[in-house]
Structure 1
Amino acid sequence: MDRKILEHKSLEEQVEILLNEVNRAENSDYLTGLASRRGLYEYYTNRDKDKSVHVMFIEVNNFKKVNDVYGYYAGDDVLIQVGRMLREIGKGFAARTEGNEFIVMLDGDMSEKEVIIIADMIFSALNDMDIRKDILSFISLNIGVVLNQKVTESFVEVFHKGDTVLHQAKHVSDGRFALYHEADKVVERNRNIELEMESALENREFHVYLQPKVNMVSSKLYGAEALCRWIHPVDGLRSPAVFIPVFEKNGFISKLDMYMFEEICSLKAQWKKQGAPYGNLPISVNMSRLHLYNKKFPETLAFIADEYDIDHNELEIEITENVFVKDGNELIDNVERLKALGFQVSIDDFGSGFSALNLLKDLAVDTIKIDQSFLHGSGETVRGKKVIRNIIAMCLDLKLDVVTEGIETKEQVDFIKQCGCQIAQGFYYARPLCIDDFTAFAEEHLVHTLNSYRFPLNGDLKSEDGSMEMFINGEGLEYQEGIFVDSKAMHFPGGPKEKNTLFVPPESIVNESFTVGMWFNADILEYWVCAMYIKFESGFLSILPYSWEEEGISDVRIRDSRVVEGWYDIRTAPVSEKKWYYYVVSYDAKKETAKAYINGKLAGVLENVPTNRYVKWIILGGDVFQPSFIGRICEFTVYNEVKDEKFVNELYESYVTDEKFIGNK
């Protein structure tokens, strides 16, 4: 403003001139020179109320990447050039409303065909903008048009329609262009969803469905993910793909998440009261990023779980990977508090975004769920399979549990098992199930919640529960006197390597952390002869009653065949011929620690022992290297968890204090 002009004006006139200048500045976008959002509002509200307009919403794609890669000056230049291009096309009233979004209001008398021609002009002009070619290759446009918009409708409603039609252009329509009448059914549907959501919650129209997580080695139930289904009184089953995005946008998802969490706690409490064998089954519940901004969120979950007397470690909080793209540190604090309260935490859709490696580095979670897009896209190629294999190996090396989502075929099951991942979720095993169907599935796929398998070898080869059975490889095995009055034990006659032995079902060991125990009595002690041998995909674990040069020293040998130096030995206490010993070995995959116990007492510990995965076979009475064992074995038991010294000691004492025990009497 020229000060000389003001000098000849009255005070009132000067104020009016300055206010007009301020108003003009506020109505203009400082960067592009186009109208601002306020300027667009004034233009819209001042239109003849009997008229209509076509509102063209334009979004610059990958604008953030331009800022990140080339800097903010380059980003500003893109916006300036888009503004210049819209002015040069000269159609309608153009504005930059925010960030990378522009709007052009066109006369409502234009035909739909004319509007489409203008959109094509804008798409074509993009390639002619005065921008560096490498930057130009980064960007593209999405255009959505609200046709025949009555100016009597609120400005806010116009923008609501604009959001919808831009979403249509980006995700639904062919190409990058959409018209509002193609999306108006979606708008109407979403509006109805918002009108009905509160009453639906009050009327308990939201139901818990559970999708099983299955151990691919044993085909047994491992856990479940809770999923929300809306059973509408008129429409029936509404897809979560329809209502969840609406709830995420309007914030109702926070209320629904907490409702689902409490429903799961209530369900588990009901199962426990009924004595259901799956009462302690871990269940994961999805949580929106909105909760992680609430510092009271972890304590709120703990309060609800405690109200229903549910152990926190039976509940897994599932958070999608993209939650941590923004405000990562703030959200990580809440994750750490969830962990401190005993909840399990998993990252869902791992690998779907760009934050995956940082998450592995920074976030102390329990489980990684590999996004199904890996399997159904690049996972079908040789290169894609290598990526999946390496992701799984990296997660396992970090002592994270891994669940692969989207398993649909036997080929996928076999491949993922070969990669070292044992837990799967997908339609191959089960779709999300209503509670009644899930309980039926659980009854069929859960062996009485057994986490252990006991093979007494007291006259037959079956496990105590009858679900598994060993088989004989060779001849000459017979039942002889066991450790109790009137009980039996299997006598092994010896023989060439691997012969005259018992093969134990490999699916009896389904966890990377486990404990095995047995009673043995060696007729003859020979160097390096094996009493029990577990073969993994990349190594083995064996119990050797007699090894090394020191007479009578027993040994637990673990082999990691992935490295030449991968030999690990726990040299334990001496044993004697013709005497019963209770021998137990545990391996903790999280701590990479192996322990050996003899007769209820800790006999040796070895740390930093790499994890072997995927049991291929288990042999009693021999191995594939040395002649077979000569002597008796009974009470062979597998626990799919780490048992501590107290448990082992109490178990040993329960044997030897039994009035029928005759082990070494």
Structure 2
Amino acid sequence: MRFRIGLQAQFFAMVGFAILAASLLLLLFWVRQQEVQRTVEAMSRQATGQVLDANLRRRAEGAAGQLAKSLANPLYYFDLDAVGDLAKGTLQQPGVRYVLVFDADGNILHDGTPDIPTYGRRMDDALAYEAIGARELHSQSTPDTLDVSAPVMIGESRLGGVRIGFDRSEGRDFQLTAMSTLGQKIRDLGARQLMAILLISAALLALGGVLLAVIQRTMVRPISELADSARAIEAGYFETELPVSRRLDELGDLVRAFGRMSQSVARHDREIRRMAYTDALTGLANRLAFREMLDARLMTLNGAGRQLALLFADADDFKRINDTLGHDAGDEVLLQFAHRISDAVAQIGGADARVARFGGDEFVILVEDTDVRPAATRLAERLVKVLSEPLVVQGRQVFLGTSVGVTLFPDDADGATSLLKNGDIAMYQAKVAGKSCYRFFSRAMNEAVERRVHLENELRGAWDRGELRLVYQPVYRLADHRLVGAEALLRWRHHEQGVIAPSVFIDVAEQSGLIETIGPQVMRAACGDAKRWQRARGEDPPLFVSVNVSPRQLRSGDLAKMVEASLRDAGLSPEQLHIELTETAVITDEAHASQLLTRLRALGVKVWLDDFGTGFSGLSHLRRVPVDGVKIDRSFVADVLRDPDDLALTTAIIAMAHSLGITVVAEGVEKEGQYALLRERRCDLAQGYWLGHPLELDEFMALAAEAVAA
């Protein structure tokens, strides 16, 4: 301060020296101003860039992580429709350039577009290698794109992954515009200040010290406060208190502009968090929000003596709604499900209960109590009851039901991941038990699921390894005991476990979706074998082959095309192929089944209803569904000699079918008396161990040759 006072005294004493000193001070001050401007611009550019990059990365990682979790079940069941819906929803989000769902080998399964032009193509771009190998959330970036990848996991098994590319140019454009405006305002302010300084240079010599203090208070300090606020926003504290200025100059404009920018960033952050934590369809909490809430609950409950239950409620046969009525109807069903679940939880679950939708048709409920098992039981029973009541969708009544799995804390597990896994296992066991019921988790369930997953993995390559093969059970005409055809039956001889029962591996194939791969292979092989024995028999009347088709193949809609291609490739006449469908699979959706069966019969293929009598047999169903034959279930044939009711029912089925011109086949004929009685009742065809065991192809061809010779 004394030095400045001395300079002021010297300025008044020596004009020349004062002018020189004033010029030097002005020059130094102007240089200082330029440095301040560059510092402000650099700090603001850095702060805004870091805020925008951090916000985009947080949004991208949240979206990728959520999408990866949502894709677990669809990828596990290879449900491309559900995968497509999830990918499309993400692709439509602002700033998303692309969405790629890929399998464990890096082959693209879906890209969110209707036509999926990249399906099956291996990702080979510069970022693909790290994305394919990522075992957790992984971010990569190029000048224009932020690429975030996440693995899709089922337990410890990696099914594949998902990549989401976000556009970085929008943030850079915003930053450039803001910084350009900021820089121009600072430069304008500096120019005006410099002009004012030049005009009042003499006064600045006397008031230099005061002016520096004023500059420090009116410029540097607000800018420092802005920089501090920018650093707080960069760290994620969007609600931090911002500087307030009543000034009407450019610096005041800068402070207010920064405040508006901060409010906009905070608003966008809140919106992103809302989107990240809320299910868009039902308004319930989503998987991410539920998981965070569950983690917090477990931390507070640990050692508190209170218990917690998770109930996993999954709609039974929900895919049928989407396939038959469309996805709009499916969304309406999910909304009604969500309302019924929320009402049941509000009535029974207690004040601390929470409901979330984990994706698709799966809902999870948290219930907390000192003795939670009775409360969970009451709620599970209530859910099974209210969700089995008919739903009215698009003017039609729909019956679905639900399967509920229940797991308890701390009895079953003390961690969120294990509890969620156990609840899913228990829900699956409820479906295996017949659906529309509930099951509590047990250790045996976990072991059963592990065995099933192992069996599914082994089944994936069984056909290519030659472990799966077809055998043929002869079918005879009862009137003259003549061989007329054979039923193709699939058998699996595992390289380590030996023969695995069809009832075991067929169910695994059906539940996992592998039946959609194995079914066409079976159809092609059976048609080829039938063509071989046709050539071996020569001019003798040809023998038919009957092939079982699963309900899942029936729902796919491509069955007729697949059958036509198999017949064409084998060169087999359509009259020699019989398609067997279970009665319950057909009656579940008569309209769709009737249309598909009509297309099959138009090809010349005959259609039989298998296991007839175990579902909802009736004349009205047979009149509405176009079939050529029915197979009386073996449970009736087994007791036909000693149970008058089974005999009466069998006789009625034969008479009813004949009245409609439908062929009747009896399966499970194991005694001569059964054969004679069925023949007396004018049953048309029969098969069973008394007539012949399933034979390898060469053995059946030898049998067919003997039949020709006879």
TM-score normalized by structure 2?
0.49
Residue 364 of structure 2 is matched in structure 1 by 103
Which residue of 1 is the match for residue 290 of structure 2? 40
- CA distance in structure 2 between the partners assigned to 1:21 and 1:204 by the alignment: 55
Shift of 1:377: 8.3
- Distance in 2 separating the partners of 1:305 and 1:128: 47
List alignment gaps of at least 5 residues for structure 2. Answer: 1-258, 303-307, 321-331, 390-399
Whether 1:214 aligns to 2:482 is no
Cα distance, 1:327 vs. partner?
5.1
| Range 350-359 or range 400-409, more displaced | 350-359
Identify which of 257, 275, 287 aligns with 2:549: 287
Q: Give the equivalent residue in structure 1 for 2:429.
A: 165
- What is the CA–CA distance in structure 1 between the aligned matches of 2:423 and 2:346, rounded to whole Å? 23
Superposition pairs of residues 333-348 of structure 1, within 5 angstroms: 333-348=595-610
1:308 is aligned to: 570
SS in 2 for 1:148: coil
Following the alignment from structure 1 to structure 2, what is the Cα–Cα distance between the partners of residues 189 and 32? 35
Q: Structure 2: which amino acid aligns with 1:245? A: D
Per-residue deviation, 1:22:
9.2
> Which amino acid is the alignment partner of residue 364 of structure 2?
I
Mapped to 1, the partners of 2:401 and 2:627 lie a distance apart of 36
Q: Which amino acid aligns with 1:43?
A: M
Shift of 1:229: 0.7
Q: Following the alignment from structure 2 to structure 1, what is the Cα–Cα distance between the partners of residues 643 and 604?
A: 40
SS across alignment from 1:403? strand
- The correspondence for 1:57, drawn from 299, 312, 317, is 312
CA distance in 2, matches of 1:149, 1:412: 58
**Native 8 Å contact 1:392 1:420 kept in 2:** yes
Q: Aligned-pair distance for 1:237?
A: 1.0
Which residue is 2:532 aligned to? 270
1:230 aligns with 2:479: no
Once the two structures are TM-superposed, the CA of residue 268 in structure 1 deviates from its matched residue by: 2.7
Secondary structure, in 3 states, of the residue corresponding to 2:691? coil
| Residues 56, 265 of structure 1: alpha-carbon distance in 2 compared, 3 angstrom cutoff | same
Give SS of 2:413's match: strand
**Residue number in structure 1 paired with 2:36:** none
- Alignment match, 1:595: none
Alpha carbons 1:144, 1:165 under 8 Å: kept:
no
Task: Classify 1:48/1:12 alpha carbon distance in 2 versus 1 (closer, same or farther; 3 Å).
Answer: farther
Matches within 5 A, 1:505-520: none
Calculate the aligned-residue CA RMSD, in Å.
5.2
Paired with 1:278 and 1:105, the residues of 2 have a C-alpha distance of: 68
Report the alpha carbon displacement of residue 79 of structure 1 after superposing the two structures with TM: 3.8
Alignment match of 1:397 (pick from 633, 655, 659): 659
Aligned length: 427
Q: Secondary structure at the match of 2:471?
A: strand
2:407 paired residue among 131, 145, 168: 145
**Offset, 1:328:** 3.9
Whether contact under 8 Å (1:145, 1:165) holds in the other structure is no
Q: How is 1:198-597 mapped onto 2 (pairs within 5 angstroms)? A: 198-275=460-537, 280-292=542-554, 297-325=559-587, 328-354=590-616, 357-375=619-637, 382-439=644-701, 442=704, 446=707, 448=709
Q: Quick check: 2:427–2:438 contact (8 Å CA) kept in 1?
A: no
Match for 1:188: what amino acid?
E
Deviation at 1:181, TM superposition (A): 1.7
Which of the two has higher C-alpha Rg? 2
CA distance in 1, matches of 2:407, 2:559: 41
Task: Please say if residues 527 and 545 of structure 2, whose CA atoms lie closer than 8 Å, have aligned partners that are also in contact.
Answer: no
Cα distance, 1:90–1:433 mapped onto 2, change above 3 Å: farther
Q: State the alpha-carbon separation in 2 of the partners of residues 60 and 315 from structure 1.
A: 36
SS of match in other structure, 1:353: coil
Counterpart AA for 2:604: G
Question: Once the 2 structures are TM-superposed, how far is the Cα of residue 285 of structure 1 from its aligned partner?
Answer: 0.9
Between the two structures, name the one with larger relative contact order (CA 8 Å, sep ≥ 6). 1
Q: Conserved in 2, the CA contact under 8 Å of 1:144 and 1:169?
A: no
The alignment-based identity, stated in percent, is: 26
1:377 and 1:35 mapped to 2: Cα distance?
54
- Contact preservation (8 Å) 2:405, 2:425: no
Contact 1:57 1:102 in 2 (8 A): yes
Q: Residue 396 of structure 1: SS of its match in structure 2?
A: helix
Query: Residues of 1 paired with 2:482 and 2:435: CA distance?
Result: 38
Deviations 1:77-119, CA, capped at 9 Å, x for gaps: 854552224423857x554658986534478xx99xx665554
Q: Deviations over 1:330-351 (max 9, x none)?
A: 4433322322222222222234
Partner of 1:512: none
* 8 Å CA contact retained: 1:56, 1:104: yes
The CA deviation string for residues 447-483 of structure 1, in whole angstroms up to 9 with x for no partner, is 53xxxxxxxxxxxxxxxx6xxxxxxxxxxxxxxxxxx
User: Which amino acid in structure 1 is aligned with residue 413 of structure 2?
Assistant: N
Instruction: Check whether the contact 1:49–1:152 (CA below 8 A) recurs between aligned residues.
Output: no
Distance 1:123 1:340 in 2: 47
Residue 286 of structure 1 contacts residue 318 of structure 1 at CA under 8 Å; is this kept in 2? Answer: yes
Aligned to 1:386, what secondary structure does the other structure show?
Answer: helix
Counterpart amino acid of residue 370 in structure 1? I
In 1, the alpha carbon distance for the partners of 2:610 and 2:296 equals 49
Cα displacement (A) at 1:40: 2.7
Output the amino acid matched with 1:167. K
C-alpha distance in 1 between matches for 2:473 and 2:675: 17
What residue is the counterpart of 1:537 in the other structure?
A: none
Sort the Cα spacing of 1:105 and 1:309 in 2 relative to 1 into closer, same or farther, 3 A.
same
* Cα deviation, residue 317, structure 1: 1.7
Cα 1:290–1:167, aligned 2, differ >3 Å: closer, same or farther?
A: closer
Give 1:235 shift.
0.9
Question: How far off its partner does 1:192 sit?
Answer: 1.8
Superposed CA deviations along residues 239-296 of structure 1, whole A, max 9, x for unmatched, are 1211212222232212211211222233233334444898821110122345456666
For 1:128 and 1:264, the matched residues in 2 are separated by: 44
- Note the C-alpha offset of 1:362: 2.7
**What is the CA–CA distance in structure 1 between the aligned matches of 2:654 and 2:576, rounded to whole Å?**
24
- What is the rounded CA distance, in whole Å, between the counterparts of 1:275 and 1:27 in structure 2? 68
Deviations 1:2-61 (A, max 9, x none): xxxxxxx98966995797589669967899997555643443576779999864335689
Greater fraction strand:
1
Matching residue's letter, 1:56: L
CA contact (8 A) 2:384 2:401 kept: no
Q: 1:308 and 1:44 mapped to 2: Cα distance?
A: 57
Any conservation in 1 of the 2:486–2:546 contact (CA below 8 Å)? Answer: yes
- TM-score, normalised to structure 1, is 0.51
SS in 1 for 2:686: strand
Paired amino acid for 2:431: H
1:290/1:59 Cα in 2 relative to 1: closer, same or farther (>3 Å)? closer
SS at match of 1:234: coil
User: Which stretch shows the higher mean deviation, 331-340 or 259-268?
Assistant: 331-340
Task: State the alpha-carbon separation in 2 of the partners of residues 345 and 62 from structure 1.
Answer: 24
Q: In structure 2, do the counterparts of structure 1 residues 169 and 41 end up closer, same or farther at CA, with 3 Å as the change threshold?
A: farther
Q: Residues 19 and 285 of structure 1: is their aligned pair in 2 closer, same or farther, counting only changes over 3 Å? A: same
Q: Tell me the residue number matched to 2:243.
A: none
2:407 counterpart SS class: strand
Do the aligned partners of 1:312 and 1:342 also contact (CA within 8 Å) in 2? yes
Indicate if the aligned counterparts of 2:488 and 2:547 stay in contact, CA closer than 8 A: yes
